[in-house]
Structure 1
Amino acid sequence: MKVIYIFLFSLSLSVCRGFSGDRRRQDYMIRMGTLQVLKTQLLCHLIICYVFLVSGFIINLLQLCTLPLWYINKQLARRINCRLGYSVSSQLVALLEWWSGTECTLYTDPESYPFYGKENAIVVLNHNFEIDFMTGWTFCERFGVLGSSKVLAKKELSFVPVIGWMWYFLEIVFCKRKWEEDRKTVVQSLHNLRDYPENFWFLLHCEGTRFTEKKHKISMEVAEKKGLPKLKYHLLPRTKGFCVTVQNLRGTVTAVYDSTLNFRNNEMPTLLGVLNGKKYHADLYVRRIPLDTIPEDESECAAWLYKLYQDKDEFQEHYRQTERFPGPITSPPRRPWALLNWLFWVCLLVYPLCMLLLQMLLSGSTFTVVCTFVFCLAVSVGIRWMIGQTEIDKGSNYGNKEMQINNN
């Protein structure tokens, strides 16, 4: 009988613990559900965009103040602008990593891993997703080169407040996508990076524009005319920008990082999804290729790049079949600095905004209340419009014409 009593007593304790555990799990799920709903609210989106824009304008102003320093101590001015630029771009990294909770997994050779963040490199990225730039920046942040990272961007972006103005002070290479006009400007901009005081990654989307079915069809027609193998998951790369970059950064850059990005479960992540707190899982496959193994001759360099994209297509096919890239996983951990920077700007800027709105609402003036409401509505519409510009179906028309794609 004692054995039976002991058994029944133990069973009752287990049941109680089970109920207690279930209750804790339910409470956790409720809290997580509440948090997820909160992330989808327009008010949160307004606050996030307000902090980004206002902090960005402040940083642009600080960057403008560094102009006299360029004539006194150019390298110091560059280092300061790296930190100021980091304060802007890391907010988007924090949005992806900490607000959305998106996971980023790196597939790479363990022997190459120690070089990442310790050398200058050209990073060749595929261009298939709306947030591929945020994912690229996330890996730049994890290896400590986010503030000094470079891109080849269209000239129009240099006039865009916050990001474009920040890039101007970071010596980003801008082009008009008309090679006859761009060559001299691009070469000069690349030469200016030869004495850059920080390790940097030069990020290149060699396809020139984001992947769409329409652009892919036109691109493969060009590949057929040139006698090149067709690609399934990529557009035909434009070779001139890559070849000029390699030619002018030899001796400064030591490697090319061939980087192929995909998202699990065949998801097509969006910036709006990230803003709503939706969690994605990015997988990035990186191969380190020493720069001295890439041909110097322009035609041979172009052939090398075509072969690289054939390899990238095979990696994507492998991912579609196995749901993973080849090789081991060696993922760098998240760093807290992007989150701390974001929280700093939130604390600095949200409190005075709340006090201002509170005073306006307590003033009792119907006109003031209506104006406040209209202003918030206009801001929300503007934010949705800006997010819409990142959507794939609203991307640029660059690449929709055969003559553009054929202009390598």
Structure 2
Amino acid sequence: MGFLQLLKSQFLCHLVICYVFLVSGLIINLLQLCTLPLWLVSKQLARRVNIRLAYCIASQLVAALEWWSGTECTLYTDPENYPLYGNEKAIVVLNHSFEIDFLCGWTFCERFGVLGSSKVLAKKELAYVPIIGWMWYFLEIVFCKRKWEEDRRTVAQSLQNLHDYPENYWFLLFCEGTRLTPKKHQVSMQVAESKGLPKLKYHLLPRTKGFWITVQNLRGTVAAVYDSTLNFRNNQVPTLLGILNGKKYHADLYVRRIPLELIPEDEAECAAWLHHLYQEKDSFQEHYAKTSRFPGPTVSPPRRPWTLINWLFWCCLLLYPLGLLLTQLISSGSVLTIVVSVALCTAASLGVRWMIGQTEINKGSSYGNKEAPLNNN
């Protein structure tokens, strides 16, 4: 282990990263709150401001992946479609198999300049989580309760509100609804058998209603669906904790651009189309398992410096006063003050590690774990 790698694995470094992210995130949330009056004056200006503020939060996580961890990303795609990425609104359909697949999706957004405006269909509970959840609230992220009768109306309305969004965005969808685990896969394939659907080896059955309502309400706004299939070289199993420890991974992402007009408008036909799409995604994963690559030509979109610049800015802004405070604490000679300060810092770090732990696949949502027949629509 080299010196730099050893340094990245140290608790003190993790403490600094957590401190910068938490404090800067709360400051940005406060700034977002201050934009509320602006919405009454100019909704589009308020949106543009919140895109930049959201970028300041999300890009720190991307910086951890790209610069701290040094993780590389190779894109497999049609060269003719490559110039369109980042220059149009799109729905991105991602497989949900890894603990950091959402972060790889954000990295994909960052490489093409749409990270700040990227959208996602998220659980309603996340709207109340400080930093990320509050950031999403001001970004007009679409939240759902996973109760179709309620979501059908509220999700549709939230999606229609995006028709006049002033900048290009990608709407990230995990159609499987939850991360892949052996237990969830077993239950999902039981559902497939009961419905006469082809079984999938590398995915759960997609939940078609969310996809259909998204496509229907964004027609005329988004230009295409980007079918995106993610895997990692050498059977790597990436984790957020690994990223924090500076472990380097290599992601391969296979992206196909599908014009939205090719997707059926009828709900049943759209569901059949999505099931067929996931059968194709399964074949791509099978190809990757056998050859260690996806089909087609490759390109490596360059890292943009802005994520690193943003992170360094917040480090300089927040670490200087922290250094002054620590100096004063040490010079004060008060053992109690020092102990309390160390305890608070440790508690903050453990809190962040706990949140990271919740992203682990074996601690993920129980959604899709039930033995009873599931409604996979």
Aligned to 1:386: 355
Q: Following TM superposition, by how much is the alpha carbon of 1:407 offset from its aligned partner in structure 2, in angstroms?
A: 4.5
Aligned to 2:65: 96
1:47 matched to 2:16? The reply is: yes
Equivalent residue for 1:245, pick from 198, 211, 214: 214
Cα pair 1:398 1:404 within 8 Å, conserved: no
Cα pair 2:120 2:171 within 8 Å, conserved: yes
- Matched position secondary structure for 2:161: helix
Aligned to 1:140: 109
Q: Following TM superposition, by how much is the alpha carbon of 1:330 offset from its aligned partner in structure 2, in angstroms?
A: 1.9
Q: Which aligned pairs between 1:227-242 and structure 2 lie closer than 5 A?
A: 227-242=196-211
Q: Following TM superposition, by how much is the alpha carbon of 1:386 offset from its aligned partner in structure 2, in angstroms?
A: 1.2
In the aligned structure 2, how far is the partner of 1:366 from the partner of 1:80?
Answer: 44
Q: Which amino acid aligns with 1:108?
A: T
1:35 matched to 2:35? The reply is: no
1:182 matched to 2:181? The reply is: no
Q: Which amino acid aligns with 1:343?
A: L
- Matched position secondary structure for 2:162: helix
1:342 matched to 2:311? The reply is: yes
Higher helix share: 1
Larger radius of gyration: 1
C-alpha distance after superposition, 1:313-338 (max 9, x if no partner): 00000000000000000221110001
In the aligned structure 2, how far is the partner of 1:369 from the partner of 1:224?
Answer: 62
Q: Following TM superposition, by how much is the alpha carbon of 1:282 offset from its aligned partner in structure 2, in angstroms?
A: 0.2
In the aligned structure 1, how far is the partner of 2:46 from the partner of 2:349?
Answer: 36
Distance of aligned partners of 1:127 and 1:271 in 2 relative to their CA distance in 1, 3 Å threshold: same
Cα pair 1:222 1:402 within 8 Å, conserved: no
Equivalent residue for 2:48, pick from 64, 67, 79: 79
Aligned to 2:228: 259
- Matched position secondary structure for 2:229: strand
Equivalent residue for 1:216, pick from 185, 190, 210: 185
Aligned to 1:321: 290
1:395 matched to 2:370? The reply is: no
Unaligned runs of 5+ in 1: 1-31
Q: Which 4+ stretches in 1 moved above 6 angstroms?
A: none
In the aligned structure 1, how far is the partner of 2:135 from the partner of 2:260?
Answer: 29
In the aligned structure 2, how far is the partner of 1:348 from the partner of 1:380?
Answer: 20
C-alpha distance after superposition, 1:187-228 (max 9, x if no partner): 000000000000010000000000000000000000000000
Q: Following TM superposition, by how much is the alpha carbon of 1:404 offset from its aligned partner in structure 2, in angstroms?
A: 7.4
Q: Which aligned pairs between 1:97-116 and structure 2 lie closer than 5 A?
A: 97-116=66-85
1:157 matched to 2:131? The reply is: no
Equivalent residue for 2:98, pick from 125, 129, 136: 129
Q: Percent identity?
A: 78
- Matched position secondary structure for 1:168: helix
Cα pair 1:219 1:402 within 8 Å, conserved: no
Cα pair 2:47 2:166 within 8 Å, conserved: yes
C-alpha distance after superposition, 1:106-161 (max 9, x if no partner): 00000111110011100000000000111110110010000000000000000000
Figure out how many residues of one structure are paired with residues of the other and give that number: 377
Q: Following TM superposition, by how much is the alpha carbon of 1:182 offset from its aligned partner in structure 2, in angstroms?
A: 0.9
Aligned to 1:293: 262
Q: Following TM superposition, by how much is the alpha carbon of 1:402 offset from its aligned partner in structure 2, in angstroms?
A: 4.8
Cα pair 1:238 1:405 within 8 Å, conserved: no
Q: Which amino acid aligns with 2:287?
A: H
Q: Which amino acid aligns with 1:275?
A: L
Q: Which amino acid aligns with 1:33?
A: G
The TM-score with structure 2 as length reference comes to: 0.99
- Matched position secondary structure for 1:195: coil
Cα pair 1:148 1:200 within 8 Å, conserved: yes
Q: Following TM superposition, by how much is the alpha carbon of 1:403 offset from its aligned partner in structure 2, in angstroms?
A: 5.0
Q: Following TM superposition, by how much is the alpha carbon of 1:58 offset from its aligned partner in structure 2, in angstroms?
A: 0.7
In the aligned structure 2, how far is the partner of 1:405 from the partner of 1:314?
Answer: 24
In the aligned structure 2, how far is the partner of 1:203 from the partner of 1:120?
Answer: 11
Q: Which moved more, 1:374-383 or 1:342-351?
A: 374-383
Cα pair 1:112 1:288 within 8 Å, conserved: yes
Aligned to 2:251: 282
In the aligned structure 1, how far is the partner of 2:221 from the partner of 2:179?
Answer: 29
Equivalent residue for 1:371, pick from 330, 337, 340: 340
Q: Following TM superposition, by how much is the alpha carbon of 1:252 offset from its aligned partner in structure 2, in angstroms?
A: 0.3
Q: Which amino acid aligns with 1:69?
A: L
1:171 matched to 2:140? The reply is: yes
Equivalent residue for 1:273, pick from 210, 225, 242: 242
C-alpha distance after superposition, 1:12-41 (max 9, x if no partner): xxxxxxxxxxxxxxxxxxxx8111101001
Cα RMSD of the aligned pairs, angstroms, is 1.0
The TM-score with structure 1 as length reference comes to: 0.91
In the aligned structure 2, how far is the partner of 1:217 from the partner of 1:391?
Answer: 19
In the aligned structure 1, how far is the partner of 2:142 from the partner of 2:278?
Answer: 23
1:117 matched to 2:86? The reply is: yes
Q: Following TM superposition, by how much is the alpha carbon of 1:378 offset from its aligned partner in structure 2, in angstroms?
A: 1.7
Cα pair 2:206 2:376 within 8 Å, conserved: no
Q: Following TM superposition, by how much is the alpha carbon of 1:376 offset from its aligned partner in structure 2, in angstroms?
A: 2.5
Q: Following TM superposition, by how much is the alpha carbon of 1:251 offset from its aligned partner in structure 2, in angstroms?
A: 0.3
Cα pair 2:94 2:230 within 8 Å, conserved: yes
